[in-house]
A and B are shown apart, each in its own frame.
Chain A
Amino acid sequence: MASIKLNKITSVWIISVLLLFIVSIVLGILMRLNQGEVISQSPITFYSNMTTHGLTMIGIWFVAGMAAVNYIMERYVKTSYTVNVLALVLTVIGILMFWASTFIGHFHSAWTFLYPLPFKEMGSETWATLMFLGSLTVLGIGWLIWSISLMTQILKKYSIPQALAWQHLRKNPTVETPPFILISMITLIGVIACLLAAVVLLVLFYAEYFSNGNFVNDALLMKNLTYFFGHTIANEMLYLGLAVIYELFSEVSGRPKWKTTWYVALAWNCTLVFILTAFFHHLYMDFVQPQGFQIIGQLASYFASLPAAGVTVFSIFIAVYRTRIKWSLTNLLFFIGVIGWVIGGLAAVIDSTISNNIVLHNTLWVPAHFHTYNAMGNVLFSLGFFYWFSIQFSDKTKVKKSTTLTLALLLIGGIGFLLAFYIGGAESIPRRYSIYPSELSIGASLATIGAAFASIYFIAILIFFFNISKRCLKILFSSS
Chain B
Amino acid sequence: MFKNIVFIILTISFLKTTSAQTVSPSLKEESDIYEKIYDAPLILDETQPTPLHELYNTKPLLVVLIFTRCTGVCNPFLLRLKESLQFKAKKDSFNVLVMSFDPRDSIKDMNLLARRFALEDNNQWIFAVTDSIPKLNQSISFYPVWDSIRNQYDHDALLVGVNNEGYITKKLIGMRGGHDLDLLIASVNNVFSPTYRLPNKNVLFSCFNYDPKTGKNKLGLGLLFIALPAILTVLILIVIGFSVRSKASELEESS
Contact = CB atoms under 8 A, between A and B. Distances in A.
A196 B241 contact: no
A45 interface: no
Given A155-B241, A155-B244, A196-B233, A215 B228 contact: no
A216 B237 contact: no
Interface string A196-229: 1101100010000000011111111100110010
B233 A225 contact: no
A189 B237 contact: yes
Contact of B241 (A160, A219, A276): A160
A214 B202 contact: yes
A152 B220 CA distance: 35
Given A155-B244, A216-B203, A224 B226 contact: yes
Contact of B225 (A151, A156, A225): A225
A197 B224 CA distance: 12
Interface residues of B, number: 31
B230 interface: yes
Contacts, number: 82
B245 A159 contact: yes
B242 to A, nearest CB: 9
Interface string B192-216: 1010110010111111101000000
B225 A221 contact: yes
Given A159-B245, A215-B204, A151 B229 contact: no
A1 interface: no
B232 interface: yes
Contact of A221 (B226, B237, B248): B226
Contacts of A193: 229-230, 232-233
Nearest to B196: A288
Contacts of B237: 151, 160, 189, 192
B9 interface: no
A287 B205 contact: no
Interface in A285-309: 287-290
Contacts of A199: 229
A194 interface: yes
Contacts of B228: 196, 200
Interface in B70-96: none
B240 interface: yes
B15 interface: no
A194 B241 contact: no
A160 B238 contact: yes
Contacts of A220: 206-208, 222
A199 B228 CA distance: 11
A220 B222 CA distance: 9
A286 to B, nearest CB: 10
B13 interface: no
A260 B228 CA distance: 31
A187 to B, nearest CB: 12
Contacts of A288: 194, 196, 207-208, 210, 217
Contacts of A152: 240, 244
Contacts of A214: 202
A189 B196 CA distance: 36
A179 B229 CA distance: 26
A225 B205 CA distance: 12
Given A217-B203, A217-B205, A196 B240 contact: no
A362 to B, nearest CB: 15
Nearest to B204: A215
B222 A221 contact: yes
A148 interface: yes
Contacts of A151: 237, 240
B236 interface: yes
A218 B203 contact: yes
A148 B228 CA distance: 17
Interface in B229-255: 229-230, 232-233, 236-238, 240-241, 244-245, 248
A289 B194 CA distance: 12
A196 B225 contact: no
B226 A225 contact: yes
Contacts of A197: 229
Contacts of B233: 189, 192-193, 196
Nearest to B201: A216
Nearest to A203: B225
Contact of A218 (B207, B230, B248): B207
Contact of A290 (B197, B204, B217, B244): B217
B220 to A, nearest CB: 8
Contact of B240 (A148, A213, A276): A148
Nearest to B222: A221
Q: Choose among B210, B233, B244 the residue with the greatest number of A CB atoms under 10 Å from its CB.
A: B233
Contacts of A189: 233, 237
Contacts of A287: 192, 194
Contact of B205 (A192, A194, A213, A221): A221
A218 B205 contact: yes
A194 B226 CA distance: 11
Contact of B245 (A155, A204, A290): A155
B204 to A, nearest CB: 7
9 contacts: A152-B244, A155-B244, A192-B237, A196-B233, A200-B229, A213-B202, A216-B202, A218-B207, A290-B208
